[in-house]
């Protein structure tokens, strides 16, 4: 019990350095094809270029009439010009043709007839007995979307690494992608350790506590592009933890734990014995007792047992690793606002505050005890205070990182 670890970490890694360690051990996952309708949130494994022009025909941008612009020159409310209506542009029917002095009815998106070069909005016309009176002159291509105006054939639509959002799906449909190649989802093993853990429904006593981390992580992972392959809840037992780690067939392991009974923290020991322990202790709060290693080329994340640290470590390190495994380009989730309170921070340590960002204001939400998640519940963003800064003053402008 009174071993060196109990007295704190000798050398804590800097917060920023952890990302470099992650970069050094992450291996990209293989691609897979998924249908467009199940691609939301997945990460593109290929550049998407369009094989088609959108639109592939000149189309009207208004409800009205397709005409020759030259037939409208000089038209006004006091000097209407007159054209003959020769038909309607109709999706699925053969393309029409107009000659000088003729017009074709057309709706927004309708295919321009041959010979027409502009469209007049119905508001500036009167139609009676197939004769159209025009009150306004047009210029060539006025109110017409030309071939390829939305998307040009051969152009890059979405780059590799893009996290697919709903509008992307609309665009992918319009360029006729029925399926897309995305990175396979990382498979995650959860190993929740702690002899003190009881399950919901049990009545905990003698210092036992309810395991919340398995549920918390389930929620966090559901919000990510990733899958849980197994969740094991294990007492502080060297052999049992080692077996759980060795028997995992996932791409990445998350081990949480744990307040033990004067025994060693087994997980870092096991990782260093059967793999390589690359990080143990980070100069950050919360989450300082974080560890990261690699066993048989699989990253193993060691998360402190307190749920607040689990949230922070997941949101900063694990989600970064999951994104990198899938080749994700970083998303911007930064917003800026004015601090409503002073936030102190220790030099030499990265402090991560939970804040409620609203109306251009950044309200820090303080947590009382170590394991309090309630500051997360009240917050919608993180405020990261880098190690070289000793806090921010009330009224200072700061950048926050919004929760997903």
Q: Taking CB under 8 A as the criterion, which residues in 184-223 touch a second copy?
A: 194-196, 200-201, 204, 206-216, 218-220, 222-223
Q: How near is the Cβ of 352 to a second copy at its closest, in Å? A: 14
169 interacts with a second copy by CB under 8 A: yes
* Residue 292, strand partner residues: 279, 301
Spatial distance between the Cα atoms of 204 and 1, rounded to a whole number of angstroms: 25
List, in order, residues 6 or more apart from 196 with CB less than 8 Å away. Answer: 207, 208, 209, 258, 259
**Could you say whether residue 300 binds a second copy (CB under 8 A)?**
no
> Which is closer to a second copy, CB of 256 or CB of 295?
256
> In the complex, what is the shortest distance from the CB of residue 331 to a second copy, in angstroms, rounded to a whole number?
8
In the bound state with a second copy, the residue whose beta carbon lies nearer, of 295 and 381, is 381
Distance CA 238, CA 273 (A): 12
Beta strands in 68-121 (DSSP E): 81-88, 102-106, 118-121
Burial code of 365-398, b = ≥16 C-beta within 10 A, e = fewer? bebeeebbbebbeebbbbbbbebeeeebeeeeeb
Residues in 334-393 that interact with a second copy by CB under 8 A: 334-337, 357-360, 368-374, 376-377, 380
Using DSSP's 3-state secondary structure scheme, residue 316 falls into helix
Site for a second copy contains 74 (CB under 8 A): no
The DSSP symbol for 317 reads I
- Short-list 385, 377, 388, CA closest to 401: 385
Position among 27, 33, 93, 276 found at the interface with a second copy (CB under 8 A): 93
Work out whether 17 is an interface residue with a second copy (CB under 8 A): no
Which is closer to a second copy, CB of 32 or CB of 223? Answer: 223
Dist. CA 144–CA 118, nearest whole Å: 6
Tell me if the bond preceding 55 is cis, omega within 30° of 0.
Answer: yes
- The answer to whether residue 139 forms part of the interface with a second copy (CB under 8 A) is no
Distance of closest approach, residue 40 Cβ to a second copy, in angstroms: 5
**Closer to a second copy by Cβ: residue 202 or 393:** 202
Total number of residues that touch a second copy (CB under 8 A): 105
| Site for a second copy, residues 249 to 278, rule: CB under 8 A | 259-262
1 binds a second copy (CB under 8 A): yes
Q: Binding to a second copy by residue 108, rule CB under 8 A?
A: yes
Among residues 97, 91, 138, the alpha carbon closest in space to that of 111 is found at 91
């Amino acid at each position: 019990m009174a071993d060196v670890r109990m007295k704190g970490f000798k050398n804590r890694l800097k917060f920023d350095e952890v990302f470099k360690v992650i970069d050094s051990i992450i291996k990209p996952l293989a691609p897979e094809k998924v249908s467009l309708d199940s691609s939301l949130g997945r990460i593109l494994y290929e550049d998407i270029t369009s094989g088609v022009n959108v639109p592939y025909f000149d189309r009207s941008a208004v409800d009205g009439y397709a005409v020759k612009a030259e037939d409208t020159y000089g038209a006004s409310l006091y000097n209407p010009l007159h054209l003959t209506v020769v038909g309607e542009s109709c999706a699925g029917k053969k393309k029409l043709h107009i000659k000088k002095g003729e017009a074709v009815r057309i709706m927004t998106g309708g295919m321009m007839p041959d010979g027409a070069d502009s469209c007049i909005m119905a508001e500036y016309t009167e139609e009676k007995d197939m004769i159209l009176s025009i009150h306004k002159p047009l210029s060539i291509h006025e109110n017409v979307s030309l071939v390829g105006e939305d998307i040009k054939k051969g152009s890059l639509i979405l780059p590799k690494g893009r996290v697919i959002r709903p509008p992307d799906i609309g665009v992918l449909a319009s360029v006729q992608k029925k399926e897309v190649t995305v990175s396979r989802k990382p498979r995650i093993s959860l190993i929740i350790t702690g002899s003190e853990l009881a399950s919901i429904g049990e009545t905990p006593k003698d210092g036992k506590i309810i395991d919340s981390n398995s549920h918390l992580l389930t929620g966090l992972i559901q919000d990510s592009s990733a899958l849980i392959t197994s969740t094991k809840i294990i007492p502080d037992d060297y052999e049992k933890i080692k077996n759980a780690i060795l028997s995992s067939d996932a791409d990445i392991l998350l081990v949480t734990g744990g307040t033990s009974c004067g025994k060693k923290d087994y997980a870092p020991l096991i990782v260093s014995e059967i793999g390589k322990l690359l990080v143990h202790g980070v100069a950050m709060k919360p989450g300082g007792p974080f560890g990261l290693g690699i066993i048989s080329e699989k990253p193993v994340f060691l998360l402190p047992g307190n749920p607040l640290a689990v949230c922070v470590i997941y949101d900063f390190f694990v989600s970064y690793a999951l994104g990198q495994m899938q080749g994700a380009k970083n998303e911007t989730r930064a917003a800026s606002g004015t601090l409503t309170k002073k936030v102190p921070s220790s030099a030499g340590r990265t402090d991560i505050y939970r804040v409620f960002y609203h109306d251009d204001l950044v309200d820090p939400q303080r947590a009382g005890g170590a394991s309090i998640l309630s500051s997360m519940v009240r917050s919608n963003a993180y405020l990261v205070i880098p190690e070289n800064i000793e806090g921010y003053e009330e009224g200072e402008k700061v950048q926050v990182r919004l929760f997903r």
